[in-house]
Structure 1
Amino acid sequence: MECVKRIAQSGRTVVCTIHQPSTVLFELFDKLLLLQSGGQMVYYGPLGLESVEMLEYFGQFRGLPPLQRGENPATYMLNCIGAGTNGPSVDVDFADSYTTSPLGAINASLIAASCAPTRPHAMTTLRTHDAVSFLRQVQLLTGRQWTMYWRSPTYNASRLALVVVLSAVFASLYCNSRIESVMDVVARMVLIFTGVVFISVSMMSTSIPYMAKFRGVYYRERMSSMYAPSSYAIALFVVELVYATVLATIYFNGWYWLVGLSTSPSAYLWFWLVLSLSMAMWSYIGHLLVFALPTFQVAVLLSSGLAALLFVFSGYMINGNTLSRGWRWMYAASPLHYTFEAILMTQFHGDNRLVANPLSSPVHMQPVEDFVGAFFAHSFDYANRFYDAMHLGVILVVIQLALLLCLAKVCHLER
């Protein structure tokens, strides 16, 4: 009951039933509403400390026995009005007595005052369907979403642990190694590729079960018209973007400086920016799958297939220039294509270190930048880095619009 009381004090409505309350539980309540058989009110007022005010009210009736030592006040009041195991103690119409009592008159006047209009013939009209403005909805929902994330340690702790473990693994694999041949350059590209793919897909796979828990709650609130779907989408976007950026910063700095990547501030910032966008984007893809598909299991299965498909058309495994015309649209649509191009081209841009190419005949020395460009048959270009960032931004907007459409129009509730 102390827990229920704290919930009520926070402004939430609590409806519960208590059968045969003990004296301690009964005296936790502030006020008592007592009805006799037939639904007639026989008492409404404060209980008082140790039920003293309720006992004083029933003590005014002649013939009613006083409360015995150790007797439960709840049992006593029921016996007084004849609702206990015995019949009524006195021949009194308690409902009529309450109506004509000073307590009944005070309560009646309070009811009349609360029912009276503040101004004669005043009518309340709302200019919009919503009780509060759109910005206020976004503010409140963002605060609630932030609290929900903060109160979900299993979700965020698992993501943080994954970030730390993957960072430590990649750092230990390439720690203090140097680039001396093209194989070392390929190893760095593999590191960037696997490092980005692993953490991005993990963000999607962890976001799906988390959002699935709250989908039913959202449906109930949407049907009650508590807020606009767009305000919910914006709140979810903002909070997830903050968490993804923080996780990307921790993950990225855990291994970047230990594996021999570029020390250029520009390359560092590009890597951090694109990785943050990628991690956030894959989380949003998980959100979209949860609200677009009927079940959590279907979302998980489709997410695996989607990740594999976008991986194939990223331009790393299959050169974009060698794809048949019928599949080039997938190469243009894959966000991994823009992610890798922006990161790889900024990492190795201006790298004039000469490395031996053992695959050439005869073996000759080649600048790292030239080798990376030739590795992708010049389908990746440093000049496209701003277009890559722009394309990632457009894909983010498309995902959010699709999510908003699902939030507003799609419902998978089963009656």
Structure 2
Amino acid sequence: MKCGGQEIYVRPFGLHYCHLIKYFESIKGVKKIKDGYNPATWMLEITTSMEEIALGVDFTTIYKNSELYRRNKTIIEQLSKPPPSSKDIYFPSQYSQSFFIQCMACFLWKQHWSYWRNPPYTAARMLFTVVVALTFGTMFWDRGSKIEKQQNLFNVMGSMYAAIVFLGLQTVSYVQPVVDVERTVFYRERAAGMYSASSYALAQAVIELPYGFVQAAVYSVIVYSMIGFEWTAAKYFWYIFFTYFTLMYYTYFGMMSVVLTPNHKIASVVSIAFHALWNLFLRFPIPGPRIPIWWRWYYWACPMAWTTYGLVASQFGDVIKDMLDTGLTVEAFTTCYFAYKHDFLAELAVGVVGFAALFACIFGFAIMVLNF
């Protein structure tokens, strides 16, 4: 082919390019090839646009008017007609491997090595988590055990609220560029028929689980011990549980925002807008009972509100021994002021898991049906 994708020669080259050389040397004005000269280089030199102008010929027109072109067309027509006894090619499935094998290939091979060899994402994510944990731990040192005043309780709750905001924003901003790059690779590999969109989406969601757990465990150990929350198995379990699934639904929300938009820059703008709206209905800056009744439905649709509710209710919702300076127990104050109830923890757990699952499912559906 020459510039523009136009055909000038279609035929096997032959031994030592004999057919190619014979064809072009038969054209009037084309210089002969020298002994020992590279046939490929010679062919490129004689078929340039400058050579066509100098010779006053068009190699495309010459080829289309040649016997070689007519013979090729005849062969194509003959081969395009299947024999009478032949059957159409049939494959029982679109992909050569089962869905399970596709998932294992995407998870154990592709995503595993992709994340392991991406320290700017994985290592920086862990480093930021440690920095945030140490910052909040030193700022609110031993505040969790000193809640005899209402302001002290607000301070501890403020540390939970600020941590959600910090970790949430950073988690979303870290994952979005990674998913954007992986999506480009996925489009190419899907077109090649390597694996289905559903197996890719499942592997992309599952690979985040261990990294999110390590992140949540590191953060929880540092913050829980430095702030001085009550060391009981149940309270620590609930703390790490809500921290873990908060990180996961933020991660899946960032992934979802990328696949619903053309690129991660637009996804970043959209996710920040949603985060600001969630922050308004968190039930901490404005307690739930004080939100206008026509807006109270929205804080149940706000995942951050479920996390804050779960963290506060699990740590202070059953504290009946400590009295605040207001004369109320900690349990009574959180119930009256914020409408937080300790016996609602099971529903809160289902809620944060549900938000993570919802965002992951939307991510999987969007990657299957949308193509940017």
Shorter chain as normaliser: what TM range?
Answer: 0.7 to 0.9
Task: Answer yes or no: is 1:36 the counterpart of 2:21.
Answer: no
Distance 2:168 2:40 in 1: 66
Shift of 1:262: 2.0
Q: Contact between 1:274 and 1:389, CA under 8 Å: does it hold in 2?
A: yes
Task: Answer yes or no: is 1:218 the counterpart of 2:218.
Answer: no
Higher relative contact order (CA 8 A, sep 6+): 2
Show the 5 A alignment for 1:174-323. 174-177=140-143, 178-179=145-146, 180-323=148-291
Q: Contact between 2:106 and 2:203, CA under 8 Å: does it hold in 1?
A: yes
- Tell me the equivalent position of 1:404: 364
Q: Contact between 1:203 and 1:282, CA under 8 Å: does it hold in 2?
A: yes
TM-score, normalised by the number of residues in structure 2? 0.74
Distance 2:282 2:142 in 1: 29
Q: Contact between 2:318 and 2:342, CA under 8 Å: does it hold in 1?
A: no
Q: Contact between 2:202 and 2:364, CA under 8 Å: does it hold in 1?
A: no
Task: Answer yes or no: is 1:136 the counterpart of 2:101.
Answer: yes
Distance 1:367 1:35 in 2: 95
- Tell me the equivalent position of 2:332: 370
User: Residue 328 of structure 1 is aligned with which of 296, 319, 327?
Assistant: 296
Q: Contact between 1:289 and 1:299, CA under 8 Å: does it hold in 2?
A: yes
Distance 1:226 1:84 in 2: 35
Question: Are residues 270 and 36 of structure 1, via their aligned partners in 2, closer, same or farther at CA, if it must alter by over 3 Å?
Answer: same
User: Residue 354 of structure 2 is aligned with which of 385, 390, 394?
Assistant: 394
Q: Secondary structure at the match of 2:286?
A: coil
- Tell me the equivalent position of 1:155: 121
Shift of 1:356: 3.9
Q: Contact between 1:203 and 1:283, CA under 8 Å: does it hold in 2?
A: yes
Task: Answer yes or no: is 1:337 the counterpart of 2:337.
Answer: no
Q: Contact between 2:137 and 2:223, CA under 8 Å: does it hold in 1?
A: yes
Question: Are residues 84 and 207 of structure 1, via their aligned partners in 2, closer, same or farther at CA, if it must alter by over 3 Å?
Answer: closer
Question: Are residues 163 and 232 of structure 1, via their aligned partners in 2, closer, same or farther at CA, if it must alter by over 3 Å?
Answer: same
After TM superposition, the structure 1 stretch with the greater mean CA deviation from structure 2, 313-322 or 122-131, is: 122-131
Q: Which structure has greater strand proportion?
A: 1
* Deviation per residue, 1:110-136 (Å, 9 max, x gap): xxxxxxxxxxx9997532111100000
- Tell me the equivalent position of 1:354: 322
Shift of 1:151: 0.5
Q: Secondary structure at the match of 2:371?
A: coil
The gaps in structure 1 that reach 5 residues or longer are 1-32, 41-77, 87-120
Q: Secondary structure at the match of 1:354?
A: coil
Q: How many residues of Structure 1 are paired with residues of Structure 2 in the alignment? A: 301
Task: Answer yes or no: is 1:165 the counterpart of 2:165.
Answer: no
Shift of 1:199: 1.0
Task: Answer yes or no: is 1:127 the counterpart of 2:92.
Answer: yes
Distance 1:158 1:306 in 2: 24
Distance 1:306 1:272 in 2: 25
Distance 2:262 2:41 in 1: 54
The letter for the 2-side match of 1:370 is A
Question: Are residues 369 and 85 of structure 1, via their aligned partners in 2, closer, same or farther at CA, if it must alter by over 3 Å?
Answer: closer
Task: Answer yes or no: is 1:145 the counterpart of 2:111.
Answer: yes
- Identity, % of aligned pairs? 24
Q: Which structure has greater helix proportion?
A: 2
Distance 1:345 1:82 in 2: 81
Distance 1:402 1:84 in 2: 53
- Tell me the equivalent position of 1:103: none
Q: Contact between 2:161 and 2:308, CA under 8 Å: does it hold in 1?
A: yes
Distance 1:257 1:397 in 2: 30
Shift of 1:273: 0.9
Q: Secondary structure at the match of 1:38?
A: helix
Shift of 1:80: 5.3
* Deviation per residue, 1:38-65 (Å, 9 max, x gap): 359xxxxxxxxxxxxxxxxxxxxxxxxx
Distance 1:312 1:330 in 2: 10
Q: Secondary structure at the match of 2:19?
A: coil
* Deviation per residue, 1:303-353 (Å, 9 max, x gap): 111111111112212233343444233211111121111111110133234
The letter for the 2-side match of 1:254 is I
Question: Are residues 248 and 81 of structure 1, via their aligned partners in 2, closer, same or farther at CA, if it must alter by over 3 Å?
Answer: same
Question: Are residues 38 and 174 of structure 1, via their aligned partners in 2, closer, same or farther at CA, if it must alter by over 3 Å?
Answer: same
Show the 5 A alignment for 1:70-81. none
Q: Contact between 1:181 and 1:356, CA under 8 Å: does it hold in 2?
A: yes
The gaps in structure 2 that reach 5 residues or longer are 1-13, 22-33, 43-85
Shift of 1:408: 1.1
The letter for the 2-side match of 1:173 is M
Question: Are residues 188 and 124 of structure 1, via their aligned partners in 2, closer, same or farther at CA, if it must alter by over 3 Å?
Answer: same
